[in-house]
Structure 1
Amino acid sequence: MGAGGPSGRDVLGRAVKGQWRDVALGSALGAGHQAGEALVPVIIGLVVDRAVSRGDGGQLLLWTGALAVAYLILSFSFRFGARAGERASEAAAHGLRTDLVGRILDPAGGADDGQLPGALTTLATEDARRVGAVNMALVLAVSALTALLAGAVFLLRISVPLGLVVLLGTPLLIWLGHLLSKPLERRSEAEQERAAHASGIAADLVAGLRVLKGIGAETAAVARYRGTSRDSLTATLRATRAQAWQKGVVLALTGTFIALVALVGGRLAARGEISLGELVSAVGLALFLLGPLSELSWLNSEFAQGRASASRIAAVLAAPPAVPAGTGRPAGPESATTATGGPGTATEGVPGTRAQGHVRLRGVHYGTLAGVDLDAAPGEVVGVVAPDPADATALLRCLGRRGDPDSGSAELDGVELTALHPADVRAAILVAEHDADLFEGTLADNVSAAASPTADIAAAMAASGADEVAASLPHGARTAVTERGRSLSGGQRQRVALARALAADPPVLVLHDPATAVDAVTEARIAAGIRDIRRERTTILVTTSPVLLAVTDRVVLVEGGRVSATAAHTELVRGRTDYRTAVLS
């Protein structure tokens, strides 16, 4: 989205406009409720003047019935108005969560750069909730303003001075409340940022708990989280103090205002300018107005928090894509994906003519790569040895189109990847990362999650050694796998992830160190399995494993960001010391 993306005000506006029917309904019913509330002290005053002071039983029954009707109307108005407001809030929050997830998962990427997973979770939960709550706040604001207007009208009918006090004092109180909410808005944004960062650190530490224990780094990890958590607590306390100060000052101003109304009404009654019933109504209205005025104070803080959260959400939605969408289509009469929403959108998984799978890199400069050439034809298994992990990472990013070359070209079947939509690229080229995650569900569900319609799941599990994993589990392939596969060992997770990649059966499969956590016998079986199951498909193995490299057709050695040699694995072992050092040491 970049510079043309939404601002915080846009996000807030969309959240309200998208639910305008429920907001309007809730506001109308809320206004009816508050008008009924304002009518109650007026009716009580009429009971005093027309029934109690005259001893008229008929009038007493009449106005008591009117009071019951008023309570009935305001009760049902509140019930259904609150329901409409809450529905608008929840629907808006759900829409924002959907937008955030869609942007984060967009094939063009860019939204999660520099963001910890926990921070994104906070955005999609607490921040989305706060923005959605603005709809309910609007309903309550209309209700409160209606209450103030109704109270002022009734007071004007009782006494013009009383009505003028309310009409002139209310806007002043609202303006002061708005000014007092500004520090809260700033501190609320800082509070959410710190809380999101703390959540991200916590999620990161939990994910790497086994590694931390293995290297004895628990103390350092705890100290890091304690410092982050302390910063979050400090920001929260600052925001809470700002909120308490704002509410306290507004409440004091509101109390002073109500006391002024009561004082003016009492003096008018003492001079005989209003009746006893009218004084009762005036005092009752003054006490009633304390509620909507206090509510406006609370609503100012809700709006402030909503604006702060909307700005944070807008920053993610407006994040520039990591790579341009591309307007071309893969070679062939049909693409691997079908565009559904105009330029820049695609729906993955729609079958079409498969790409042939001819991958070619020419003079690619990207990251640490400095002019890499690579050619992988359909049916080939090509190994890539990159002693510098940064070179391997840069190559994987280019092949998966998570980044475009600064210069040079990366092509699929003669079409530059930069000309294609990222979804089309990833439908044809699957980059299976070394640290791929598993998901909650059964082992079979994980393997078949991205399987092609023609995939042989059993063959994929056998080729990856995942069949042995299933055989060792109590319920076989139906055994439940916990979040991120933590119920499995490292080697078991690696084999299941490899089975998932093989079951996807893409035209081009790029595997990064797929067998580092298994024993030598299993690794040899996996190497043979990959070679066998990937017949007629393009396979690129980015690894330093001699067992895997032995089944490749040829190996490309990348040193210092450049290709220094290309030959069969056995030739490179015999002829190059640097290669032997990289793969045999």
Structure 2
Amino acid sequence: MDVTEPSGRDVLRRAIWGQRGDVTLGSFLGAAHQAGEALVPLLIGVVIDQAVARADLGALLRWLAVLAVVYVGLSFGFRFGARAGERASEQAGHALRVDLVRRVLGPGGGAENGRLPGALASIGTEDAKRVGAVNMAVVSALSALMGLLVGAVVLLWTSLTLGLIVLMGTPVLLWLGHLLSKPLERRSEAEQERVAHASGVAADLVTGLRVLKGIGAESAAVARYRRTSRDSLVATMRAARAEAMQSGMVLALTGGFIAVVALVGGRLAAQGDISLGQLVSAVGLALFLLGPLEVLSWVNAEFAQGRASAARIAGVLSAPPAVTAGGMRLPRPVRGEMRLRGVSHGGLREVDLHVGPGEVLGVAATDPADATALLRCLSRQADPDAGVVELDGIPLRDLDPADIRMAVLVAEHDAELFEGTVIGNTGAAAPESADLDRAMAAAAADEIVRALPRGGQTLVSERGRSLSGGQRQRVALARALAADRPVLVVHDPTTAVDAVTEARIAGGIREIRRNRTTILVTTSPALLAVADRVVLLDNGRVTDTAPHADLVRRHSAYRTAVLA
């Protein structure tokens, strides 16, 4: 989206305007179809007056041929008009999904704040689909209005009284239908909120299923989901009742309106003001008008749900970024010098830290929360509450987050794998010149490839669940190493591997990252031992900096964190 903070109306307007070609085509063909439908009762009345009443076989055959041509035309109009409308709906939904994914994955972040992953998935699927469907509603609405207009003109030609009844009654029905759709809009928004929340909770529970089983918390998790699902069910039932009420009331009003048209037409025929054929045409048109009016009732409901979904989409698209882009650019090439000056964030307190270009620095935090806070600052997922983080002498807050990502790669401890092959995961972020075999060897992932049935072409299931925890860690580390960023920050990359493999990985990282800045945020003695020096973070502050062996001798807190 071009506008920084779109509203729900903006989202709807752009979804329609972006597909204006198909919407225009669909509306034109749909209008032609409805006009043909409206002309059918008129033609039947003409057939009765000019052929049946006069017993004229030639006239009967001629008018039946005209009817056949009209039916062929309205059939093709419906077919291709509906196709254009559906195409507009699907393409608009696709465009919204792309916008949502672009916003969620944007370097500035922030869209995920306050929303569960499942809730974002629901917005990107169900809500985008509902907003896209508004295009079909627009096509249907314009087509129905054309049907009403043609029907009203024919009725005016048949009888001024009947035509005026239709022309005056239709706007009143549309206004009442709009009023009746308001409760549906409110309840539809609440329904989508609860459904998205339930989806988010379900996704979280499935993701943490092994942990839940490990701590015996299955019953508590089921109870939590039962409550969330019940809330979603209640909201859905309220929305369904509102929709049923709206549809029933509109149908009742429409039926009463059609009955008035038929009653007036019958009296006019009885008085001799219109012919038998005109009466048949009037009654046929009265029955025909029920269709467009029902379509307009459906359109009101679609717009009500579309507005509610558009507001939810706008909430994601207009979410403020967690960090904003600065105006400076990194010098090329990036040397990889990192410096923290008086950084306070989360549990960190006035942290001063310097990492020279090409240095391998270990960071051992006695509190895991401090390690997480440090990673957030280094990757600029958040700006520190105080102090500054610099890369090659330039504060990160003055740089575009996208530029930072290309220079600094922070490999999280819980990095996920993608569905695909092992080799595809390894090279996901790698440049074309990357040596994937060397990266896999450094991460000891080559052993995994040799053990798998199809080697590097073995398929990996969603989130890498087909691999063991240690295998996932090694493939994720190989992916980070293959990316070959000027600065690499890895967080506890070996917690699920054995000691022998861990020692091999430590040597592999040291070798492959020679002359490249590397920060190892870990409490693994094997990894810390290969670092040029280690920084001890205790109670959020830097308490000492020295080689691993020296810190083991000096600090009991370090021994407890690293050797316990």
TM-score (norm 2): 0.98
Distance across 1 between alignment mates of 2:365 and 2:488: 18
Q: Note the 1:341-490 alignment, pairs <5 A.
A: 353=333, 355-490=334-469
Cα deviation for residue 3 of structure 1 reads 9.7
> In structure 2, what is the equivalent of residue 123 of structure 1?
123
- One-letter code of the match for 2:391? L
Determine if contact 1:507/1:537 at 8 Å carries over to the other structure: yes
Distance across 2 between alignment mates of 1:476 and 1:210: 27
> In structure 2, what is the equivalent of residue 319 of structure 1?
319
Determine if contact 1:331/1:415 at 8 Å carries over to the other structure: no
Q: 473-482 vs 534-543, which deviates more?
A: 473-482
Identity %: 71
Determine if contact 1:359/1:376 at 8 Å carries over to the other structure: yes
> In structure 1, what is the equivalent of residue 474 of structure 2?
495
> In structure 1, what is the equivalent of residue 136 of structure 2?
136
Distance across 1 between alignment mates of 2:32 and 2:405: 56
Distance across 2 between alignment mates of 1:14 and 1:78: 25
Determine if contact 1:401/1:422 at 8 Å carries over to the other structure: yes
State whether structure 2 residue 511 is matched by structure 1 residue 529: no
Determine if contact 2:366/2:557 at 8 Å carries over to the other structure: no
Change (3 A) 1:453 1:61: closer
State whether structure 2 residue 549 is matched by structure 1 residue 570: yes
Distance across 1 between alignment mates of 2:126 and 2:105: 20
> In structure 1, what is the equivalent of residue 156 of structure 2?
156
Distance across 2 between alignment mates of 1:93 and 1:390: 40
> In structure 2, what is the equivalent of residue 239 of structure 1?
239
CA RMSD of aligned residues (A): 1.3
Q: Specify the SS of the correspondent of 2:111.
A: coil
Q: 482-491 vs 52-61, which deviates more?
A: 52-61
Q: Specify the SS of the correspondent of 2:341.
A: strand
Determine if contact 1:85/1:136 at 8 Å carries over to the other structure: yes
Distance across 1 between alignment mates of 2:375 and 2:41: 73
> In structure 2, what is the equivalent of residue 335 of structure 1?
none
Determine if contact 1:36/1:74 at 8 Å carries over to the other structure: yes
Cα deviation for residue 184 of structure 1 reads 0.4
> In structure 1, what is the equivalent of residue 225 of structure 2?
225
Distance across 1 between alignment mates of 2:336 and 2:358: 9
Determine if contact 1:2/1:318 at 8 Å carries over to the other structure: no
Change (3 A) 1:242 1:46: same
- One-letter code of the match for 2:414? D
Cα deviation for residue 4 of structure 1 reads 4.4
Determine if contact 1:2/1:319 at 8 Å carries over to the other structure: no
> In structure 2, what is the equivalent of residue 80 of structure 1?
80
Q: Specify the SS of the correspondent of 1:73.
A: helix
Determine if contact 1:190/1:235 at 8 Å carries over to the other structure: yes
Determine if contact 2:364/2:536 at 8 Å carries over to the other structure: yes
Distance across 2 between alignment mates of 1:452 and 1:564: 38
Q: Note the 1:544-559 alignment, pairs <5 A.
A: 544-559=523-538
Determine if contact 1:261/1:286 at 8 Å carries over to the other structure: yes
State whether structure 2 residue 210 is matched by structure 1 residue 210: yes
Give the number of equivalent residue pairs.
564
- One-letter code of the match for 2:389? A
> In structure 2, what is the equivalent of residue 343 of structure 1?
none
Change (3 A) 1:64 1:453: closer
**Which digits, 9 at most, give the CA deviation of each residue in 1:55-98, with x for residues without a partner?**
11222122111111111111111111111111111111111111
State whether structure 2 residue 467 is matched by structure 1 residue 508: no
- One-letter code of the match for 1:329? R
Cα deviation for residue 214 of structure 1 reads 1.9
Cα deviation for residue 506 of structure 1 reads 0.9
> In structure 2, what is the equivalent of residue 337 of structure 1?
none
Cα deviation for residue 448 of structure 1 reads 1.1
Q: 424-433 vs 555-564, which deviates more?
A: 555-564
> In structure 2, what is the equivalent of residue 347 of structure 1?
none
Distance across 1 between alignment mates of 2:74 and 2:102: 41
Select the residue among 548, 561, 564 that pairs with 1:582.
561
Distance across 1 between alignment mates of 2:42 and 2:513: 84
Cα deviation for residue 496 of structure 1 reads 0.7
Q: 371-380 vs 172-181, which deviates more?
A: 371-380
Distance across 2 between alignment mates of 1:380 and 1:152: 82
Determine if contact 2:340/2:354 at 8 Å carries over to the other structure: yes
Determine if contact 2:444/2:474 at 8 Å carries over to the other structure: yes
- One-letter code of the match for 2:249? V
Cα deviation for residue 560 of structure 1 reads 2.1
Cα deviation for residue 441 of structure 1 reads 1.1
Cα deviation for residue 2 of structure 1 reads 12
Determine if contact 1:464/1:495 at 8 Å carries over to the other structure: yes
State whether structure 2 residue 13 is matched by structure 1 residue 13: yes
Distance across 1 between alignment mates of 2:517 and 2:27: 61
- One-letter code of the match for 2:425? N
**Which digits, 9 at most, give the CA deviation of each residue in 1:418-457, with x for residues without a partner?**
1111111111110000000001111111111111333221
Distance across 2 between alignment mates of 1:480 and 1:64: 63
Cα deviation for residue 409 of structure 1 reads 1.2
- One-letter code of the match for 2:272? G
Determine if contact 1:26/1:139 at 8 Å carries over to the other structure: yes
Q: Specify the SS of the correspondent of 2:54.
A: coil
State whether structure 2 residue 305 is matched by structure 1 residue 305: yes
Distance across 2 between alignment mates of 1:498 and 1:408: 30
Distance across 2 between alignment mates of 1:391 and 1:214: 26
Q: Specify the SS of the correspondent of 2:37.
A: helix
Cα deviation for residue 406 of structure 1 reads 2.1
TM-score (norm 1): 0.95
Distance across 2 between alignment mates of 1:271 and 1:260: 17
Change (3 A) 1:150 1:3: closer
- One-letter code of the match for 1:373? D
> In structure 2, what is the equivalent of residue 350 of structure 1?
none
| Runs of 4 or more consecutive aligned structure 1 residues displaced over 4 Å after TM superposition | 1-4
Unaligned runs of 5+ in 1: 333-352
Unaligned runs of 5+ in 2: none
- One-letter code of the match for 2:175? W
Q: Specify the SS of the correspondent of 1:44.
A: helix
Distance across 1 between alignment mates of 2:522 and 2:420: 30
**Which digits, 9 at most, give the CA deviation of each residue in 1:282-320, with x for residues without a partner?**
000000001111111111000001111100000000011
Cα deviation for residue 209 of structure 1 reads 1.5
Distance across 2 between alignment mates of 1:464 and 1:87: 47
Determine if contact 2:443/2:509 at 8 Å carries over to the other structure: yes
**Which digits, 9 at most, give the CA deviation of each residue in 1:265-298, with x for residues without a partner?**
0111111111111110000000000111111111
